[in-house]
Structure 1
Amino acid sequence: MQVLEFELGGERYCVDIGYVSEIVDRGSLTTVPNAPDFVEGVMDLRGRTTSIVNPKTLLNVDDVGEASRIIIFDASTFEDDAAVGWMVDEVYQVVRVSMDDVEEPPMERGDFIEGIVRREEELVVWITPTTATTE
């Protein structure tokens, strides 16, 4: 399995690369009145209005670090074909993960945490963006 690793609030997270469409630099966002707290705004990405979400708010992650990149997800992976991107502090790399290295989450955190990828020096939280974005 291949995952894209990124940083939120000083911690590493990852998503299945199959969800990812592209990665863009953070640009200007248009605020949407009465939007949920986790929606930072919208941006025009190649003629399509894309909702930009702050996963730190969704996942209750400390808001340290500055979101400089946006991971754009493949709209076809969302039930409503929504154009969605996540603001992240940093994007690292695509890595292969063996399912033998993935552990169950240590506590019930909803359907959006796939598991914990254990490495020698760190733990990486594996998230499913389609369910996390709709929580």
Structure 2
Amino acid sequence: MLDPTTVSPNLTARGRIPSILRFSTELIAWIATPWALADYSVILAIAAVVLLIGLPTLFSTPGDKKQTLVPVPGTVTIGLVVLQLSAALISPWLSWHPWLAILVTALTLVTVLAELPRWRWLLNAPGRAHRG
């Protein structure tokens, strides 16, 4: 059995639906953000995608993902999720039809509610892998 103090709800059965919601919202951020920025700068649009995908891939809290490349405190992981959610919330309003932006806003709010148990765990999670 997994120890709930060392393993995030993200890696348990109860984390499945929040993970699906989070990934759906991230996917929207990855699509809508460059779409919204492309009119201003293609380079900025590409940079946004690199940051939105690259930062969470590189930095993670030990126990929250199966593999951690660069261990960071839980507050950093929460900040990266909030960045993704913010991009998913704002970008559709700048580039998509309002009815679609309303649906994305609702999805984002549901995702935040679903993420709360994980965020509680992340606030108390270790910041670096123990070496010994």
Fold match by TM threshold 0.5: no
From the CA coordinates, give the structure whose radius of gyration is larger: 2
The structure carrying a bigger helix percent of its residues is 2
The normalised TM-score by structure 2 is 0.26
With a CA cutoff of 8 Å and minimum separation of 6, indicate the structure with the bigger relative contact order.
Answer: 2
The structure carrying a bigger strand percent of its residues is 1
The normalised TM-score by structure 1 is 0.25
